[in-house]
Structure 1
Amino acid sequence: MQPLVKMTDIRVEFSGRLILDSICLELEKGQITTLIGPNGAGKSTLIKVLLGLQTKYTGQIEKQKRLRIGYVPQKLHLNETFPLNVERFLQLAGKFSHQERVDSLRLVGAEYLLKSNMHKLSGGENQRVLLARALLQRPDLLVLDEPAQGVDVQGQIDLYNLIESIRKRFGCAILMVSHDLHLVMAKTDQVICIHHHVCCSGAPEAITKHPSYIALFGEHKGESLAFYRHHHHGHHDLAGNPVEGEAETCENQKHGHCHHD
């Protein structure tokens, strides 16, 4: 199966500072991929390159024709003095009918928020509305930049359950950006850890034991992740080949080569 998106040797430099160095990744239909890394690692820049918001880069991006992408940004900046309810906010997304807007809210369990003030939503409610907005166009790829930021722990668990249900319902690919794996572990198929280059990638259980991950985030005790652990068969590497839960190290990424064996 052809990937929905294939990024090869993506390199971004700002004022002589290397932000992304030879990044390679593939996003496949029906898979959840989580992009992790410390602050300043280049995660949001990579997302902007994928979305076409960052045009100054080198490398190649191949997308399937007529690919529909839904995007949930890390933060939403609204003018506090401008009155805006949820329905009006969704109207700004494009020419969708009232019923389509209601249906989209229903999909994320937020139909009751239709007439609510956008400025008074909780963190979890805000994320559900943003998800509803992204789902209006029935995306093939859903991109979520730190979707759980500003959401309490129970809200995060509910949000990740919702994201998984969206993947199952629509069969779309999902790319999430996160700081670590504590809550996303049970809901992701593939993890890519970057710190300007790809440090390691693979199944989440293997990533937490990988030296590059430990060097960036520290070693986690097994119990801290066990609650969210699940058994998911059929993990694949970035080339689409089956793997047995082993994390791969992209050493050649540092030297301008993509290695996915």
Structure 2
Amino acid sequence: MPGLSGGIMSILSAENVSVGYGGPMVLENVSLSIAPGEIVTIVGPNGSGKSTLLRVLIGAIKPQTGKVHRKRGLKIGYVPQTLHIDPTLPLTVRRFLDLPKRVADTDAAAALETAGAAGLAGKQMSELSGGQFQRVLLARAILSKPDVLLLDEATQGLDQPGSASFYRQIETVRSELGCAVLMVSHELHVVMSASDRVICLNGHVCCEGTPDVVSAAPAYRELFGTGTGGALALYRHEHDHHHHHGHDHDHA
């Protein structure tokens, strides 16, 4: 039956997907599935096919081989890398949430609240900080009450504390909406602790598993080295006080 993967009903999956734009393959035999409510992060170096895979899952690119299964009626919320808005354009956050279609004030307020952007409704989009801007994009993506939220390098340009707090916000969104989350990132240091499962991509799936399993996997170390260990530990430590990973700094 389509959508069945390892015994868990998946809401979104790719099966042996390959994509090449007339040249070398960007993705080769990639399979993955996302279960309801799960936070999955795809990490990989630049050029590893992460954004292509996201576009295949959304349906924007048709794979040359393989199939994508989406649960019937699946609602997807999408948070882009960034969005260019003309700074001379007067556009409040509240008006921005009405694009492309108007939403009720109560829904707009609830989405801003869940996305950690309460109180920003009256601000001009052009006045927002990078972190606030990403939270407003997140609010817009969750307005439709999606079953799965897709984020493409959504913290690019934010500093590390900004990234870490954005990922914590994603965990809040997941617990409040019960939606699954699929994030694409090259920022290992903050991604790992927010994820239930990490998929390491480099044209193909190199390794996947829980953050602990993946960060110890040889394929992962080969791709990324071990230099992010200290930063990962720092975020974990701040995140969860009973873990003392302080000694990791020596190897960072």
TM-score by length of 2: 0.86
- Aligned position for 1:80: 87
After superposition, what is the alpha-carbon deviation per residue over 1:228-255, rounded to whole angstroms, capped at 9, x for unaligned?
34899xxxxxxxxxxxxxxxxxxxxxxx
Q: Is the 8 A contact 2:78 2:151 kept in 1?
A: yes
After superposition, what is the alpha-carbon deviation per residue over 1:186-223, rounded to whole angstroms, capped at 9, x for unaligned?
21010001111111111111211211111111123754
For residue 205 of structure 2, the aligned residue among 188, 198, 202 is 198
Q: Is the 8 A contact 1:12 1:21 kept in 2?
A: yes
For residue 122 of structure 2, the aligned residue among 115, 123, 134 is 115
1:149 aligns with 2:156: yes
TM-score by length of 1: 0.83
- Aligned position for 2:4: none
Q: Is the 8 A contact 1:208 1:220 kept in 2?
A: no
2:42 is matched by which residue type in structure 1?
Answer: L
Aligned pairs, number: 232
Deviation at 1:17, TM superposition (A): 2.2
1:19 aligns with 2:26: yes
Give SS of 1:163's match. Answer: helix
- Give me the whole-angstrom Cα distance separating, in 1, the residues matched to 2:54 and 2:230: 32
- Aligned position for 1:140: 147
Deviation at 1:181, TM superposition (A): 2.3
For residue 2 of structure 1, the aligned residue among 9, 15, 19 is 9
2:30 is matched by which residue type in structure 1?
Answer: I
Deviation at 1:166, TM superposition (A): 1.1
Give SS of 1:137's match. Answer: coil
Q: Larger % of helix: which?
A: 2
- Aligned position for 2:134: 127
- Give me the whole-angstrom Cα distance separating, in 2, the residues matched to 1:220 and 1:133: 35
- Decide which moves more: 179-188 or 29-38: 179-188
1:7–1:80 Cα change, 3 Å: same
1:4 is matched by which residue type in structure 2?
Answer: I
Structure 2: gaps of 5 or more residues: 1-7, 241-252
Moved over 6 A (4+): none
Percent identity (aligned): 45
